[in-house]
Structures are given as structure tokens and as C-alpha cells.
């Protein structure tokens, strides 16, 4: 087995390399620093051992010698070990020392390079390190809090090299560094861009000059760019419509990825606090299995789906789309229709408004049999409305939602959020059950009128309801609500 020294990149989990993701997915052990993004740890198998060795508030980091010994010991146990490090493991990350320890111990290892913050962070701040007419080179230097970094580094020589200077870990020594760079020949009005938490939703860029750098109030972690390019402001990351906003996502973890991806693409920090989990029906799926067999026999004229969950659960029991035969299919909305499309089915009926009442209104009258696979607990609008139109409705329990149990740390994050999204009545009810009304952020966004009614009945103030009752509609409504604040 092998120990992999993996560069996690500067913060944005999407900057992890393909190979880094590959080795994480098969890891037996993950040894990580504080700056490693928490969501990256979720890529490892649930059974993988996760060992934090980075500095956390109130606790010092594990000494490097102990980390070396840990990697050697786990490697000798014949396990797939991933040492997850911020940035690149061989750029100011002491990955070379860990590689040397593994080499000396005869333990097999590989290095998986990552995007160093020296390059990634300026790019996310809209500062190119080289630019025609301004800089044809760049120098990366550590300004670490250890005294030797500020005193033994020949900063005057760095100043004379010219081009762009990128300083990592230099917050505590910034005044001394600035003084020596000026002594080396750089002008006091040389532009500086200081980027805190680069590539993350909380990224903040401060523009200053070398002469004012020492008096600038900034906190680590910061990447500083010194030189003519620092006056360029080609911002893109910080100008996204939801940049810096924190949004609570209450969908079940199995369903949340689409909403989380859209929020992150617009610059928001998605706080996943699933209020529900999607579980098996109480009969273990026996009724669902029987209804699938009945469909294959041609026992139903129509089958009506009210959620992507019901589609996924039901269609998983079929051989392929041919099992639908001549049975017509209705979907309550485009999200459900998209789930059907994944199984090669195009819905025959989708109402203009994506609620049960509109589906009843659009549904034809008839006298045949109709199958309705749905959640264990649901409104009876469809059953009553379709029955009134002459259909014999067979209801089958496709899944059951249950309250989730979020961690205390996630609840704490939710209380600091800017907004919360509710995508079903059950997410409202269960969120309040597990988190309480005091955990509801200032802005409440609901996917549709039924969910909004549930929220209002529970005493919440609903700020906006999505015009289109889809995940895209929720994100549009959220962006509109937050832009007004």
C-alpha cells in the first residue's frame, strides 16, 4: 500500500486535482491539516479513519516529527494513506520532510501536486502574477511568523529581482518585510493586494501600498501580492451575485447536491443541514414491488409521480422503460420530469403550475386505474381530486421521510447564516423540530405555496416564494431576496 502526499489546493474544493480525488475515494486513512476543506474529507469512504493534525483554536498543531511517525506507522500497516495538505505539498507545506521520513523508513509514497495558494489565490482575486508591460516574472517567499523568515531572508535582494512578489504566511511580519523591501529599492507606493481566505466564499481582498502595509489590519491566512500587477482589479470571484452569503440547505443529503452546486456557483457558502433523511417505507418496499409488477401487467392507465424520490424508488424496480407499456405518465413538475428522463421516460402530462391542485385541474377525467407512488405522509389533494374525476387511485408508499440529526457545529453555522431554503413541508417541520425557531436565519425562501403555508403556520416569516417551483426557481428567488438587503 502507499502513502499519498496530496495537495488539497488553496481552499475551493473544486481545485482538487482529479488524481487527488481518486486517491481520496479509496483511502483507508486521511491525515489532514486545519486548512483542508471539510467537504474534501467527505470524499473519503465513510469507513476511513480521519486524523486531524493541524492547529485548531485552543489546541496547537501536532509536531512535525509526530506527523512523520504517524504516516510511517500507518503506511507500514499496509493501508492506503492520504496526507491531505493545503496548497501544494512541496510548496511551504513541509511535504518534503514527510517524503524524506517515508523514504528513510522504506514506506512507499507518491506525491500528488496541488494548486499552491501563491498562484490560485491571486487568480481568484483577479490579480495576474504576470502581465505584459507590468511583470515578466514572480517570486514566491514565505514570511512565516518564525523570526528567521523575516530576518534571515534577504528581502533587499528579493526587492532587486523585480517582477511580482508573492508572500505567504507573512501577516505577523508584514511591517518588517515591507520596511526591508523598501530598503531594497521598492517604492513606498508600490501596490499591494492582501487576500484573506483566498478561493473560499469568505474571501476578502484589501488593496493598499507597501508603505501602508505594516499598519493594515488583517488576520491570517493571507496571501500578499506586491508589485505593479497588484493595482489590477480583474475581479470575477468576488463579484458573483451571492458571493459571501451563507445559505442553509435543508434538503435531504441525497437530494442536496443540485442546490448546493448552484449556490456555490453563484458564490454562496452552502451550509448543509439536512432536516430529513429519505428512508425505506414501513413495509420494506413490498407494496412498491407489487405495484411495479402490476404496471408490467398493464393494470394501470396512468401513473402519477409527485417527486424525484418517488421516481427513483419506483423505477429502480423496473427492467427499463418498456415496463411502462401503454401506461401514461404524469409528473408534478420539471424536476420530477427530469428524474423520469434519466430512466428514458418522457412525461405525458406536466401542469403549468407545479402543485397538486394544478395537476388535478389539468388531468383528464376517466374511469380506469391510476397508480400514485408517493411519500408515506402527504396531502390527499391528488387522491381526492383524481378520485372525483372518476379514477380509481391506488396509493403506494414509495419512501418515508424522517428527521435528521445535525451536528452541534452545523447548527451553530446555521444560526450565523444569511438565509435558509425550504424545498418541502417536511423540511420545514423537521428543521424546526431538530433546530428550533431560533436557528432560522433572517431570510426564508420556500419552493412553493404549500411549503410556504407550512412555514407560516409554524410561525415563520416567509420572505419569498419561488415563482417557478423548482430548484432553479429557489435560487433565483434567493438571489432576488438577498440583493434587496
pLDDT in tens, 209-244: 999 999 999 998 999 999 999 999 999 999 999 998
pLDDT at 35: 60
pLDDT at 56: 59
pLDDT at 408: 82
In 3D, which of 477, 408, 465, 474 has the Cα closest to residue 436?
408
pLDDT at residue 36 is higher than 80? no
User: Can you tell me the distance from the alpha carbon of 297 to that of 302, in angstroms, rounded to the nearest whole number?
Assistant: 13
Same fold, 246-275+404-483 and 286-401: yes
Residue 347 makes CB contacts below 8 A (sequence gap 6+) with 305, 329, 330, 331, 336, 337, 340
pLDDT at 145: 54
Which residue would you say has higher pLDDT here, 146 or 404?
404
Q: Which three cell numbers stand for residue 139?
A: 517570486
pLDDT at residue 58 is higher than 60? no
pLDDT at residue 251 is higher than 90? no
The reply to whether 146 belongs to the active site is: no
Domain spanning 3-114: CATH 3.40.1010.10: yes
Catalytic residue (one of 55, 146, 154, 261):
55
Instruction: Quickly list DSSP for 456-480.
Output: HHTTPPP-EE-SS-SHHHHHHHHHH
Catalytic residue (one of 12, 33, 88, 312):
33
Angle at 424 between CA 277 and CA 444, to 5 degrees: 110
- Residue reference for cell 510548496: 91
Mean pLDDT value across residues 419-442: 89
Q: Which three cell numbers stand for residue 18?
A: 482529479
Q: Which CATH class is domain 246-275+404-483?
A: alpha beta
Q: Strand pairing partners for 256?
A: none
Q: 286-401: which CATH number, 3.40.50.300, 3.40.50.10090, 3.30.460.80, 3.30.70.1560?
A: 3.40.50.10090
User: Can you tell me the distance from the alpha carbon of 148 to that of 246, in angstroms, rounded to the nearest whole number?
Assistant: 39
Ranges of each domain in the chain: 3-114, 119-231, 246-275+404-483, 286-401
pLDDT at 146: 54
As a whole-number percent, the residues of the chain with pLDDT over 70 amount to 96
Secondary structure of residue 247 in the 3-state scheme: strand
Q: What's 424's DSSP letter? A: S
Range in 51-55, 137-141, 286-290, 397-401 with the lowest mean pLDDT: 51-55
pLDDT at 442: 93
Residue 288 makes CB contacts below 8 A (sequence gap 6+) with 281, 313, 314, 317, 373, 396, 397, 398
* Type and span of the H or E element at 56: none
Mean pLDDT value across residues 407-413: 83
Confidence label for 80 from pLDDT (cuts 50, 70 and 90): very high
The reply to whether 1 belongs to the active site is: no
pLDDT at residue 149 is higher than 60? no
Angle at 222 between CA 218 and CA 226, to 5 degrees: 95
In 3D, which of 112, 70, 69 has the Cα closest to residue 87?
112
- Summarize pLDDT for 102-131 with one digit per residue, the tens: 999 999 999 999 999 999 999 999 999 999
pLDDT at 150: 52
Q: Strand pairing partners for 193?
A: 207, 225
- Residue reference for cell 408534478: 332
Average pLDDT, the chain: 90
Residue 243 makes CB contacts below 8 A (sequence gap 6+) with 201, 237, 266, 267, 268
pLDDT at 174: 93
E strand map for 216-268? 222-226, 246-249
pLDDT at 129: 97
pLDDT at residue 256 is higher than 80? no
Instruction: Quickly list DSSP for 319-376.
Output: SSGGGGTT-EEEESSHHHHHHHHTTT---SB--SSSSHHHHHHHSPP-SSEEEEEEES
Q: 119-231: which CATH number, 3.30.950.10, 3.40.190.10, 1.10.10.10, 3.40.50.2300?
A: 3.30.950.10
Confidence label for 476 from pLDDT (cuts 50, 70 and 90): very high
Catalytic residue (one of 12, 43, 169, 418):
169
- Summarize pLDDT for 348-396 with one digit per residue, the tens: 999 988 788 889 999 999 889 999 999 888 888 899 999 999 999 999 9
The reply to whether 348 belongs to the active site is: no
What pTM was estimated for this model as a whole? 0.76
Mean pLDDT value across residues 39-49: 90
pLDDT at 403: 77
Which residue would you say has higher pLDDT here, 166 or 269?
166
Amino acid at each position: 500500500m502507499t502513502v499519498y502526499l496530496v495537495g488539497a489546493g488553496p481552499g475551493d474544493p473544486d481545485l482538487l486535482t482529479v488524481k487527488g480525488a481518486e486517491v481520496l475515494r479509496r483511502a483507508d486513512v486521511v491525515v489532514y491539516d486545519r486548512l483542508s476543506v471539510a467537504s474534501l474529507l467527505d470524499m473519503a469512504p465513510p469507513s476511513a479513519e480521519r486524523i486531524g493534525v493541524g492547529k485548531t483554536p485552543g489546541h496547537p498543531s501536532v509536531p512535525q516529527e509526530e506527523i512523520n511517525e504517524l504516516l510511517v506507522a500507518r503506511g507500514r500497516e499496509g493501508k492506503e494513506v492520504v496526507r491531505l495538505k493545503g496548497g501544494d505539498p512541496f510548496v511551504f507545506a513541509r511535504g518534503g520532510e514527510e517524503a524524506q521520513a517515508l523514504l528513510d523508513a522504506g514506506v512507499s509514497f507518491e506525491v500528488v501536486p496541488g494548486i499552491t495558494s501563491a498562484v490560485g489565490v491571486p487568480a481568484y482575486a483577479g490579480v495576474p502574477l504576470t502581465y505584459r508591460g507590468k511583470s515578466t516574472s514572480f517570486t514566491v517567499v514565505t514570511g512565516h511568523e518564525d523570526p528567521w523568515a523575516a530576518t534571515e531572508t534577504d528581502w533587499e535582494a528579493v526587492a532587486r529581482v523585480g517582477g511580482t512578489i508573492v508572500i505567504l504566511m507573512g501577516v505577523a511580519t508584514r511591517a518588517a518585510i515591507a520596511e526591508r523591501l523598501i530598503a531594497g529599492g521598492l517604492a513606498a507606493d508600490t501596490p499591494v493586494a492582501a487576500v484573506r481566505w483566498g478561493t473560499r466564499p469568505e474571501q476578502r481582498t484589501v488593496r493598499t501600498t507597501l508603505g501602508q502595509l505594516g499598519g493594515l489590519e488583517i488576520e491570517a491566512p493571507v496571501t500578499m501580492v506586491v508589485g505593479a500587477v497588484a493595482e489590477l482589479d480583474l475581479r470575477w470571484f468576488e463579484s458573483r451575485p451571492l458571493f459571501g452569503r451563507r445559505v442553509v440547505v435543508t434538503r435531504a443529503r441525497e437530494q442536496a447536491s443540485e442546490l448546493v452546486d448552484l449556490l456555490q456557483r453563484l458564490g454562496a457558502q452552502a451550509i448543509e443541514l439536512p432536516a430529513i433523511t429519505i428512508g425505506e417505507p414501513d413495509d420494506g418496499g413490498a407494496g412498491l414491488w407489487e405495484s411495479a409488477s402490476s404496471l408490467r401487467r398493464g393494470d394501470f392507465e396512468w401513473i402519477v409521480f409527485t417527486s424525484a424520490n418517488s421516481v427513483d424508488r419506483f423505477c429502480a424496480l423496473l427492467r427499463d422503460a418498456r415496463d411502462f407499456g401503454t401506461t401514461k405518465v404524469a409528473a408534478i413538475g420539471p424536476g420530477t420530469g427530469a428524474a423520469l428522463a434519466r430512466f428514458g421516460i418522457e412525461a405525458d402530462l406536466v401542469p403549468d403550475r407545479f402543485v397538486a391542485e394544478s395537476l388535478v385541474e389539468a388531468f383528464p377525467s376517466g374511469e380506469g386505474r391510476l397508480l400514485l407512488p408517493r411519500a408515506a405522509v402527504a396531502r390527499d389533494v391528488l387522491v381526492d381530486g383524481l378520485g372525483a374525476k372518476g379514477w380509481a387511485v391506488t396509493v403506494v408508499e414509495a419512501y418515508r421521510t424522517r428527521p435528521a440529526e445535525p451536528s452541534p457545529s452545523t447548527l451553530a453555522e446555521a444560526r450565523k447564516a444569511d438565509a435558509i431554503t425550504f424545498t418541502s413541508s417536511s423540511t420545514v417541520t423537521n428543521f424546526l423540530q431538530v433546530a428550533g425557531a431560533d436557528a432560522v436565519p433572517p431570510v426564508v425562501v420556500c419552493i412553493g405555496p404549500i411549503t410556504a403555508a407550512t412555514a407560516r403556520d409554524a410561525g415563520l416569516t416567509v420572505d419569498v416564494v419561488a415563482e417557478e417551483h423548482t430548484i432553479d426557481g429557489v435560487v433565483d428567488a434567493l438571489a432576488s431576496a438577498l440583493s434587496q438587503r
